[in-house]
Amino acid sequence: MRAQTWRRVFFTLRYIPGVAQAAVTRAFWMDALVTRYIVTTPDWAGTLDLIQRGPDQSSPRFHALAPLVVGILGESERAFRLLDTVGYERFCVALRAWVS
């Protein structure tokens, strides 16, 4: 194997345990907290204002669906992470289709 490949393998083996530990021990990650903050705004105008001025880069459709998901599943970690997970899975499927 080339040296660059070995560096990537070494980096990955060092990176994964730390990320896995953080995923298990942290209740919310920053993106879930931002989503929670935006979802709890009282009206759609406030939500759009936060999207335009805030740190979140998600689409307005994401923030239109998030209150529905949170309303059905309640304010839990799973509810706030569900749309991110579905979006990531859709990305993986699209990438696989594009590469194939």
DSSP codes, 44-62:
HHHHHHHHHHSS----HHH
Query: What is the tens place of the pLDDT at every residue in 10-19?
Result: 877 777 777 6
Query: What are the residue ranges of helices labelled H in 1-100?
Result: 3-25, 30-39, 44-53, 60-73, 77-99
pTM of the predicted protein model: 0.57
* Among the ranges given (21-25, 36-40, 59-63, 71-75), the one the predictor scored with the smallest mean pLDDT: 21-25
Q: What SS3 class is residue 2? A: coil
Domain boundaries, given as residue ranges, for the chain: 28-99
